[in-house]
Chains A and B, each alone.
Chain A
Amino acid sequence: MSTAAWVVIALLAFLVGLAVGRGRAARPYARGERGSVYAVLRAAALAGSPLRGGLSRESARRAVRRLRPLLGARAVALTSTDVPLAWEGPCGQEVLAHVRPALASGRPHVVAGEPLAAVAVPLRVGGRVVGALAAYDAEVGTALVRSAAEAARWISTQLELAELDAARRRAAEAEMRALRAEISPHFIYNALTTIASFVRTDPARARELLLDFADFARYVLRRARDFTTLSEELTCVDRYLLLERARFGDRLRFSVQVSPEVLPVPVPFLCLQPLVENAIKHGMDGRDGGEIRVVACDAGPEAHITVEDDGAGMDPERAGRLLDGDGGGIGLANVDVRLRHIYGERYGLAVETAVGAGTRILLRIPKSAP
């Protein structure tokens, strides 16, 4: 026999095995009383799980497929308050007419009909009716009504959990948004007074600086975005340094060292500028001049960015307090928290410092986003 035939046979065997396996899983697992409890609970869990993500056509479609055998009905449908979402079995768009009384009254409703009768049960989330479950059978008995009501209650619980999830997510996002680094008011004040000092002596320079300031502001204040690329972030730092240079003159020296591979790496928005601002604040503090060095390099699966000043440095304990967010300057703590938030606890800022030894801040960004 040729190899091709073997391959085809193997593939067919694989598919048959797959089909058999799936068929098994759908059937009750064990016999007897305990087995049927297990089967019901499992079917309910399977039917409920898609709805854990909310009530949509897709989740409803998956849910009704499991609900029909669970209820033992000929057809099962799920609707929202105004559209039929999904149905399984011999029914169709007309289901909306059948559930309307239930939606209106908020109570289960039995609809007589030919050839199938129906029971419609409303779904409630937080006391509000959000949709309905309809079960169809040749005749609707108490058993079906009761199990449909229980199923509707189970679904409602899942939907409530979904709402809770969404609320939690919204809270987390709001928290994240609140954490977004903001341009410091001191900087705006300093930049504007510096520009003002040039207006008379060197109007051309003042104009250039104003334009730089405008560019910087446009970047910082633009519509909410969580991520940007390192190259945009560096450009922003460059603008910022230009403005600071105008203020400090030649006393502020800076150098930037970048390996081009890391420029396209996505980084959290405005994660670098607060560090540079911090470095200038501590590096130029009461000194004649200082140097700021920004180095971005490739480190296998990560990009490493360091911001270093040769200023007075600080007591490591004070650096720890700065990272905690007390002891002046929210910028550093803010970046630290955001990084941990996005990439995990291991990706916080690392500050290397000692009194009289300058400060170096290391930022690690995984190349593949979390």
Chain B
Amino acid sequence: MTARRVAVVRRQATLGRPPGREWGNGPDHALARALEAAPGVPGLEETRHADVTAVLAGQLRASLPTLAAVFGALVGLPVLVALLGPGSVWLSLAAHPIWVALAVLHLNRAERLERCSPPR
């Protein structure tokens, strides 16, 4: 290491940026663009749409029971305690095991669903 290093950066690239950057936005933007730019194919949009609907519905079916259980417990436990009287407020500690159990159940369900989701 005798000399001091000098930083070199090229001023300008020869190529401009490709168009369509306005929304093309992630690793798969080329694919998304390609799919969008294929209008004439009859039925393509419909099948994609149906695909997305199926995937969304499947995932949502996995999530909604968990969500219902969380909000049920979140509202149900305080109401229960209010009914039982102030002495039973220690029931709130029971919430944590419930959350953990729900989280683990949801994890299992979601991963199973992903393993069996239709191959693309």
Contacts and interface: CB of A to CB of B under 8 A. Distances in A.
A and B touch in the complex (CB under 8 A): yes
Interface of A: 53-59, 80, 82-83, 130, 165-166, 168-169, 172-173, 175-176, 226-227, 266, 310, 313, 316, 319-320, 323-324, 336-337, 340-341, 344-345, 348-360, 369-370
A226 B7 contact: no
Q: What secondary structure prevails in chain B residues at the interface with A?
A: loop
Given A168-B19, A337-B13, 16 more contacts: A53-B36, A55-B40, A56-B39, A80-B40, A165-B20, A175-B18, A176-B18, A176-B30, A227-B27, A323-B9, A323-B10, A324-B10, A336-B13, A351-B8, A356-B1, A357-B5
Contacts of B37: 54, 165-166, 169
A310 B2 CA distance: 11
Given A54-B37, A324-B10, A354-B3, A172 B27 contact: no
- Dominant secondary structure at the A interface: mixed
Interface string B33-53: 110110110100100000000
Given A166-B37, A357-B4, A358-B1, A56 B9 contact: no
B84 interface: no
Contacts of A358: 1, 5
Given A54-B37, A316-B6, A165 B21 contact: no
Contacts, number: 110
Given A175-B15, A341-B17, A357 B40 contact: no
Contact of B30 (A168, A226, A319, A349): A226
B92 interface: no
A357 B8 CA distance: 14
A190 B7 CA distance: 31
A155 to B, nearest CB: 14
Given A56-B39, A316-B6, A344-B17, A357 B1 contact: yes
A266 B27 contact: yes
Contacts of A353: 5-6, 8
A145 B45 CA distance: 32
B1 to A, nearest CB: 5
